[in-house]
Structure 1
Amino acid sequence: MQIHRSRHARGFTVLPNAVLQDRRLSYTARGLLADLLSRPDGWREDGRHMADTSPQGRLAVAKALRELTAAGYYRVERVRRPDGTFVSESHVYDTPHTAYATAQVVPGAVLPGSGRPADGARGAHPVKDRGKEPTLPARRMAQGGRRETTPAPLSPALAEAAAVLHTVTSAEPRLRLGAAEAMTLAPLVAPWLERGLGPRDLGFALLGGLPERIHSASALLRDRLTRKLPPAVEPAAVSSRPRRYECTACARPTPYEGVCRTCAGADAAPPDAVDERARTAVRGRALVRAALSDRHPRPLAGARA
């Protein structure tokens, strides 16, 4: 085998042969290590981004990182910031560090890490005082030793809103909520009930046109309860509607109070109009008979039929 090398002036990385020829590592792990060592100091990239930008999948990249960690080439350290938050820092080595190789750690050995012991100084790590009473909300023990937080009691209006929400969402298995989630969404259901909308209206608003995959039922319901809430009806708009009355004689709806025009005789035709309609009807019937007589003349006397 002949090796052909080029002389590079810039943009190259010098690596020891022991790293590239370490038979404990797979070729994927060695290639990933070479890629990481070629990056500048302070480079930030996680395993998911490495997998998404390479032909290997996430499982292959995760396995390669585990190999590098076991061999002492790679480690992740949690560092506490002055504000109390924690960040993860990755360290890559071109020479395996046996102190960080999980396969070669001596039992009881203390590995160097970040932070200082809790000595009472400012910024030191706090030490849990087991004799101190907890300041969290009151909790009770459930079956299996699991702790449960006792929810605060709801007002009657919010309790009714939570019950209505449970009734509506029970028809869709993907939208079934727990008691804590229903209590959280109850303040958003209460305005619907105050505006006279019931479970039928909530069902149309919450269950119609659901996506094929629902990641968070609580978030979807919160969005629809807020976005689809109908506007409140103004009292002035209700009072401006025309009032309807009924006729005191025949109970027909009328726009005014009292007797309708028919019962009052206001719609009756005058006597002259009645006589005129009668004469018109008589004259019309005479014209029809004359027209029919001319169309079918009578036979002459003495003629054979």
Structure 2
Amino acid sequence: MDTPQNTALMRALAEVPGPLPTSGVVHITLPHTERFTVVGNHLAQNAALSTTAVGFAVRIQSLPQGTEVGIKALAARFPEGEKLIAAALRELEAHGYLHRTRVRLPNGRMVTRTVFCNHPEALLCPRPAEASKPGPALAPAPVSAQAPAPVTAPIAAPALVTAPAPVPAHVPAPAPVTPHAPLPAPEAPETPAPPPVTDRPVPAEPLPPAPPAPRLVPPPTAPKAPPRPLPQPRELTPGLQQAAVALLSDLRRHAPELVLSEADIERLAPATATWLERDAHPDTIRQALTTDLPQPVKYPAKFVRHRLTVLLPPPLPGTEELAPARPRTVVIPLQTCEGCERAFRSRTPSLCRDCRTACEQPAA
């Protein structure tokens, strides 16, 4: 009498079809009408994923479009810590459920775009072509096959209907009718098949299969483009080398996430020296490397290498390139007159004006 009884649960168990198992879980499945999310068994029963990763996959899938799903946003929404959430997101990213890419907005700001796919294996399978849509156009085919019947009947009708008209219904068919019966047979092949085609629309030819739609999210196995080569200065002087090493070593004071090892600094020093060689101020380089950092920075050396390569400024133009273009002055060379040895300007050797005039007067 002291043990509380859940009558609703007992009534639901009584409605479960079939005998109940003696051990194990018993499912009471009630249909959802609102606030529900469909989760595939490929995720719910994935033995390669931890329970935490599966739980966060379900949570992310149930959130509306446009909700922030970063590590800090999920930590503020759920009781798990940031390290546990980061590990779960890495698992989902490794199995293709989660895709995180860095994109640049039109204003130059870098943001992280997160895409969640509820069935990544379906992306690897070719999507069925939409060639089945022209199928309904072929539906009149069986109707057109039956169309010759009403067309051929009027051809044989005049011979059969006029003869038996005076014969009573109870009298058997007369003998003259039998010879006329095979007459329509040779006429049947003469009836061409196109007449029913003229009365009915021609079945549309099947269209070629449409090309598969482009994938919005690349599959996890898609090949990646090779990285750009690291910039190299024209001449790596000791002064440039020392300034580049000092700038890279000082990054952790301004951004604690950018802690570089000695090997990384030695490898990235030529690219930093290229910036200095192109008259970039150290503060400008430091701001380009530490502004708008992703959270978290998983690989600091790769991140610094990417920004040193992609954001490399062009060389400063010289004074000659900045000077306005002057109009070109055409200079006509000096020529010596063949008649009076006087100098005059002309593009080709000839006589001067006075000598040409003197030569033209006698001719007039």
TM band (smaller chain): 0.3 to 0.5
TM-score (norm 2): 0.30
TM-score (norm 1): 0.35
